[in-house]
Chains A and B, each alone.
Chain A
């Protein structure tokens, strides 16, 4: 038997978040006109228990075992993801997507939640295998491919929110593996071009910045040319891509800029969410007493917009508590990554943290219209079995890594 590992700060923070989350899911079900949401907190509680059991199981295994299952787990998750394109179904704000695996109309899980974990593992494996951190864009093709395969499938579902999480994981782990800042910037540049291309002036300015960056960083000539071409290309195809977006997707992006543009549909969610949060004030309206929620003005109050319920019922105090718990969790995981035994473990830990961080940033930002609405759940809070399970499996992995870690910061030589 291995020694029992229990990273108390980690587990307790995650447990507090989960219990707070279940309480909010319960509250979300307490509406004046009863809905099916009324009882979902029970299954959420069940999934939490299952997830904790899974986490305990994993924490009793070993990092080597985890590393060993990485490749098959990765391909299994890809296969499941691919299957969603055939027998997928949607739910909630993502009703039009196919992110759920469904058999005979019964949804049995979101493979993309599993894929987030397996992609982190797979990326960690590949990046850890290198002696040197990637120094050029050409060095990145293999890690890029690992992320690109699931990303393409997810974008085909289409599930923009989860797609963003994968990009966050990719950049976070590249950073952790030691890729230089300028290279990351160059890598991100086509995305920036994509966003800025809607304003010719901004895009032109960005292009000059990029040129300076390329000259400063001095990548290979081919790379430099590829980058510039990629930036021009994304700038040119962005309007075409825009046209290709479904009207509801276009609306969501428009509404992000101006929620009042479409107050009865896409903008409605954001406006109602802000009203809920703003009317919560410092102390909130009290547990289960949010009027916005009770009267169903809040959309998806038990999944994507659960944080608005926190804001309305628990006020700024509650928001601060939840965000602080998340910060504590993330700092703890970063710490675990920092003192992990080996680069694989370290990368896995940081990758999992990066994944959650993007979730929290986008989800919480969305409730205040700081981020576009992308149908992305809040870890440990949003109702959903797959995500709860995946999150607690990740906690299990982190427990294991923490347990095998040197128990102190890496720079203090052991």
Chain B
């Protein structure tokens, strides 16, 4: 089944509560998928810096002195915050690519969850309640975020198989459904030079969008072409640095409910996930149409363009 939640804030006064609201929404969706949980938060940005959120199964060993080791190898300022099995490392934007390579040499067991100026992704195997508590998600502030609670179908129950997936800077995606052509698409995308880490179908979906955008498509265009190129069932919720998007396949059998008020746009696999949001009784609540891309941005007016049949 899987459960998805998403929250895009329009009202800045809600930003301190983003983590708390998303955590509550995600815990409500636990019985849609108790295998693993993950949350992506778009928080504050340090000018000229990029954040790498990394994970280790042996954090005590891997994170000890990692900031100093990276600083020595890169030759510039590196800061690091450790949170349970994850750490958020900030480096100068110019060193983002180099940091990945150096990190792979310095700590081969450390895996990168996300790269972005504002994005941080936390994910682990286990119940949403426990995962959120380990990373103290409820205390996090931010402008928007998405979360996922997984019922594993297409690949193993591992940290790397948990959603959200980040395949381009500040981009992430969560998925309810299963893709049937992910194996062939993965081969094609790898040939095109896209880095895909796992055997998970959703990562292929995320990588597909990254590939399209590398070719010059906007996120909206990439989502529209996914309707032609991805086979299977999907409800996707995506985040970008300043935006939040939703798309469902033409069959649209995976559930989705959206709500919009002057203060926020919210997404849930079920209405239950939305019931504690402020003003939900007066929100516009609707079910997104199949084959239709919905997108909101902090920079532009809301858009929803229907895909021609």
Partners in one complex: no
Binding site for B on A (CB under 8 A): none
Binding site for A on B (CB under 8 A): none
